[in-house]
């Protein structure tokens, strides 16, 4: 009986482990950290969006020691929403190092700042390569006349990223009141989601200075980091842009433009989808290559072989995995440097293939794919193969490039015959005379 009870306990633990692993795979466990409990009421629509998209939310204040991302070597959450812009220091359980490790391990973070941003939020953004500026963002032309308090700091931003994987079908100006940001380096990992127009500027005292780097379209309001490990970090310079007030508000711009409803709610939902891995993910399978006329994967290749390389690529559209239809994916045949670089051709069913000839160099090569595009998760493939030269019995009987040498041999033989003939016969006649 004791043995039977023990086996039942083990079976129960296995079932619980499977259930837990399924939750992890879904990536819907989200920790929300805020600096004031009032955020739950002022931003209730935003949290409802998260719940409608299947996220299981856990709320905690920034100074609560229960806000642990990692416990006993396992992550308790897949995503982090950091809505604590005023905090100068987070709790001992939620340190800068733990957040960075959380990102390094492939998890996702959404950060919102404000005009009075504290050092905690600045540090998280800075470690992700995004510098939060001082002051505020202003626009004396494209500001909302109803929500503005006279400083022209409620900007009706119209420059929204057009990538459908990131912003979806967001329409209408986005209301924004907060601070600007800029990228610390240009590694191709950051991109703008919302940026300023020609009349937008970022300033401490509300005055525009000519030649400033934070002027016009250089003013970044919402940006994102797309890491090489597929972790995603979105940083907004405004917490208020996610509020119920801005979601429901219409837009009455000082330039005369009027819209019944702002684009904040639609943009918020699309940011959630992209940031937390609900869109733009790629996966590959069935990587295969073979010689033309064959189907088996070879142990090695020979120089000048005609080969075909193929793989299946799928994209997650938010609900299911569908065939990827991109036409800009390339495969390289590399030995230190690429000897062949070719575009993969999709067949509409997820399979991508290309045919090419093995270069006239032997050694250890790799088929390499390093696909990294804005809005998509990175896709990296590396398959190694040995390329050998021709064996002694695989060369052509007569090589075309050697025809001149063949001709020179026969010419030499013919010349020697002619010379010998004349030497013999003309020499005898000379002696006789």
pLDDT tens for each residue of 177-188: 999 999 988 778
Are the C-beta atoms of residues 276 and 79 closer than 8 Å to each other?
yes
Closest CA to 289 of 276, 278, 277, 298: 298
Are the C-beta atoms of residues 225 and 129 closer than 8 Å to each other?
yes
d(CA 331, CA 341): 6
Report, as ranges of residue numbers, the positions in the chain whose pLDDT lies below 70. Answer: 1-26, 209-213, 427-433
Q: What's the pLDDT score for residue 19?
A: 40
d(CA 102, CA 232): 11
d(CA 382, CA 402): 38
Report pTM. Answer: 0.82
- What average pLDDT does the chain have? 87
Give phi and psi for 72, each to the nearest 5. 55, 35
Closest CA to 301 of 406, 390, 240, 412: 390
β-partners of residue 289 are 309
d(CA 289, CA 71): 43
Q: What's the pLDDT score for residue 270?
A: 94
């Amino acid at each position: 009986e004791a043995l039977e009870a023990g086996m039942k306990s083990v079976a129960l633990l296995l079932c619980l482990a499977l259930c837990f692993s399924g939750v992890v795979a879904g990536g819907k466990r989200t920790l929300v950290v805020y600096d004031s409990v009032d955020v739950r009421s002022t931003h209730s629509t935003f949290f409802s969006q998260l719940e409608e998209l299947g996220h299981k939310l856990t709320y905690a204040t920034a100074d609560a020691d229960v806000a642990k991302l990692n416990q006993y070597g396992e992550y308790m959450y897949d995503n982090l929403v950091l809505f604590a812009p005023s905090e100068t220091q987070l709790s001992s359980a939620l340190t800068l190092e733990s957040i960075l490790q959380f990102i390094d391990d492939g998890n996702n973070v959404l950060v919102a700042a404000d005009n009075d941003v504290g050092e905690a939020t600045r540090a998280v953004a800075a470690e992700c390569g995004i510098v939060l500026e001082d002051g505020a963002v202003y626009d004396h032309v494209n500001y909302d006349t109803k929500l503005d308090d006279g400083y022209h700091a409620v900007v009706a931003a119209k420059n929204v990223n057009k990538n459908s994987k990131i912003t979806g079908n967001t329409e209408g100006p986005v209301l924004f009141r907060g601070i600007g940001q800029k990228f610390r380096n240009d590694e191709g990992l950051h991109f703008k989601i919302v940026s300023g127009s020609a009349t937008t500027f970022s300033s401490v005292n509300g005055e525009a200075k000519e030649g400033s780097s934070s002027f016009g379209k250089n003013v970044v309001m919402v940006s994102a980091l797309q890491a090489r490990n597929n972790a995603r970090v979105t940083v907004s310079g405004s917490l208020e842009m996610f509020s119920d007030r801005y979601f429901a508000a219409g837009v009455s711009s000082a330039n005369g433009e009027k819209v019944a409803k702002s684009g904040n709610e639609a943009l918020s939902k699309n940011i959630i989808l992209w940031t937390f891995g609900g869109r733009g993910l790629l996966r590959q399978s069935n990587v295969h290559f073979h010689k033309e006329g064959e189907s088996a994967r070879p142990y090695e290749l020979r120089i000048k072989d005609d080969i075909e390389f193929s793989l299946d690529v799928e994209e997650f559209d938010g609900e299911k995995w569908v065939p990827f239809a991109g036409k800009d994916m390339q495969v390289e045949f590399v030995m230190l440097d690429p000897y062949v670089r070719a575009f993969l051709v999709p067949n509409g069913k997820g399979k991508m293939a290309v045919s090419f000839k093995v270069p006239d160099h032997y050694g250890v090569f790799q088929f390499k794919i390093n696909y990294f595009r804005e809005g998509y998760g990175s896709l990296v493939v590396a398959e190694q193969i040995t390329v050998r030269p021709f064996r002694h019995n695989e060369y052509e009987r007569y090589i075309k490039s050697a025809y001149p040498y063949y001709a020179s041999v026969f010419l030499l033989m013919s010349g020697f015959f002619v010379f010998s003939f004349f030497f013999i016969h003309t020499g005898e006649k000379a002696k006789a005379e």
